[in-house]
Structure 1
Amino acid sequence: MTIKLYGAALSPFVRKTRVVLALKGVDYEAVHIDPNNPPEGYEKISPMKRIPALEVDGQYLADSAAICAYLEKVYPEPALYPSDPLELGRVIWFQRYVDYDLAMRCTFAVFRNRVVMRLIGKECDEEKVQHTLANTIPPLFAYLDKELEGREFLVGDSMTVADISLASQLVNFKHGGEAIDPAKYPNLAAHTERMHALEPFAKTIEKESGFIQKIMG
């Protein structure tokens, strides 16, 4: 089985997929795709030209949620989705919440303005960043903090793709110069610290942080 993962290093969705691949011990070839300038014909791999996309023996899957679900079926150990139906539904819910609602704030508002815009030679909209930090992120963090109260993981007693999705978005929040306030969100801050200390995340964060510092000075 030949596996290729199409994506870019700083994408939280690509990072999530890479962490899942690493935890499952799957070898793959990484193919760089600039989401702002995808190569001609990339829509045949990813219909919306988004990242990540996965190629397996000439067949393609787009979207990190679809890819992670596929990987769980083909490589069931370690299990990153629960067998209990209700818990499975909650994992799918949290992944959706993080990939859409949280991503719009942490990645597309904070990280994109503070990092991506500078990388492509454009101005950071700091007013938008500050509005997001003050108004739209706090209720999302508060909900996650409450859900993590007295728990090590978002769902069940072991790590799932929900935890990986959340931690991946919060890497971008960190790259954007922000951190979870442990005084306001102690459970979310502790969860993030635990997840980012895992080897696949720790290695990725170190490498990405070095790249950002080198490029941005």
Structure 2
Amino acid sequence: MSSPEPINKDQAMLIVGSPVSPYVRKILALLHLKGLDYELDPITPFYGNDEFSKLSPLRRIPVLIDGDLVVNDSTVIAEYLDEAYPDVPALPKGARERAQARWIEEYADSRLGDLCVWGLFFPKVVAPHVFKRPPDETAIAKVTDTDLPVALDWLEERAPTVGFLFGDTVSVADLAVACPLRNAAIAGWTPDPARWPKSAAWLGRIAAQPCYARTIGFEPAILATRAEGRRAALEAVGVKVAEQSFGTDAPRASIMLR
């Protein structure tokens, strides 16, 4: 198979996935950082149709579509974009630092994603509204009282005192950490600055970056808007929403992401 040509910067690519997903948010922030144009199909996997299953056999988001190129998994998408558009790098230069960045991204995607999305955001925000399922408060308390503090203790040891993980510019590793913790914040949990001062300050610096701050502006269009009005609400805040969608009108309760 021949390697795909780099994306034409004048041609918008399509990102499939809701912008409140930490993995979609990471890619959108990266696109903003690199100044790349895109269209968005803001579906959740629970509302994906059969064509979505063909694009994403694991029914996960985001999916990047560029012409006849389909790329799954946020890490793979990020690496593709960084290789295709190296002018604004999202990974550090050296092999050692790049390995560190990839590991931190993996830790954020897997461990923080598991805790913040499946441990908090899904049971407190998604399940009650989509599946009418009450949250398990005992399980949630374990996440907030034990599991997330352990994860934040690990991050606190590695959090930069100034700037970002790999210097003065934000990297995909910084974004990967901030994105699931934003879902935890939406669900009502944020790191205590008294216990995790370096992490709290670092997350504040990431949140202030225009590439990331713009994604926060998308949240009301999803979280405070009824499903039928979300696409218009996203357009109202400057998102180019795709004309066609891989979504359905009703959720598929039997489909999970893992």
**If the TM-score is normalised by the length of the shorter chain, which range does it land in?**
over 0.9
Offset of 1:202 from its aligned partner?
2.2
Determine the structure 2 residue equivalent to 1:78. 88
| Secondary structure of residue in 2 paired with 1:54 | strand
Cα distance in 1, alignment partners of residues 165 and 82 from structure 2: 18
Alignment partner, residue 150 of structure 1: 161
Q: Where in structure 2 are the equivalents of 1:35-74 lying within 5 Å?
A: 35-74=45-84
CA distance in 2 between partners of 1:210 and 1:34 (Å):
14
Q: CA deviation at 1:154?
A: 2.2
Match of 2:113 in 1: 103
Choose 82-91 or 142-151, whichever is displaced more: 142-151
Deviations 1:27-75 (A, max 9, x none): 1111233211311122322221110011111111000000000000111
Amino acid at match of 1:127: T
Map 1:59-208 → 2, pairs under 5 A? 59-120=69-130, 121-208=132-219
Q: Is 164-173 or 192-201 further displaced after alignment?
A: 192-201
Structure with the bigger RCO (C-alpha within 8 Å, sep 6+) is: 2
TM-score by length of 2: 0.78
2:17 is matched by which residue type in structure 1?
G
In 2 relative to 1, CA 209–191 (structure 1 residues): closer, same or farther, beyond 3 Å? farther
Match of 2:243 in 1: none
* C-alpha separation in 2, matches of 1:154 and 1:44: 37
Separation in structure 2 between the aligned mates of residue 99 and residue 188 of structure 1, nearest angstrom: 17
- Equivalent of 1:6, from 16, 27, 30? 16
Instruction: After TM superposition, give the deviation of residue 214 of structure 1 in Å.
Output: 5.0
Deviation of residue 78 (structure 1)? 1.4
CA contact (8 A) 1:145 1:187 kept: yes
Shift of 1:192: 0.8
TM-score by length of 1: 0.92
Are the aligned partners of 1:175 and 1:209 in contact in 2 as well (CA < 8 Å)? no
How far apart are the structure 2 equivalents of 1:185 and 1:43? 41
Q: Given that residues 14 and 64 in structure 2 are in contact (C-alpha distance below 8 angstroms), is that contact kept between their aligned partners in structure 1?
A: yes
CA contact 2:15–2:38 (8 Å) conserved in 1:
yes
Provide the secondary structure at the position in 2 that maps to 1:30: strand
88-97 vs 196-205, which deviates more? 196-205
CA RMSD between the two structures: 1.6
Count of aligned pairs? 215
CA contact (8 A) 1:80 1:160 kept: yes
Q: Could you tell me whether the CA contact under 8 Å between 1:17 and 1:67 is conserved in 2?
A: yes
| 2: CA distance, partners of 1:206 / 1:157 | 24
Which of 39, 42, 45 is the equivalent residue of 1:32?
Answer: 42
The secondary structure found in structure 2 opposite 1:47 is coil
Aligned-residue identity in percent: 31
The range that moved more, 191-200 or 174-183, is: 191-200
Q: Alpha-carbon deviations, 1:78-121, whole Å to 9, x = none?
A: 11111100000000000000000111111111111111112212
Normalized per residue, the structure richer in helix is: 1
Structure 1 unmatched ranges of 5 or more: none
CA distance in 1, matches of 2:40, 2:225: 22
**Comparing 63-72 and 5-14, the one that deviates more:** 5-14
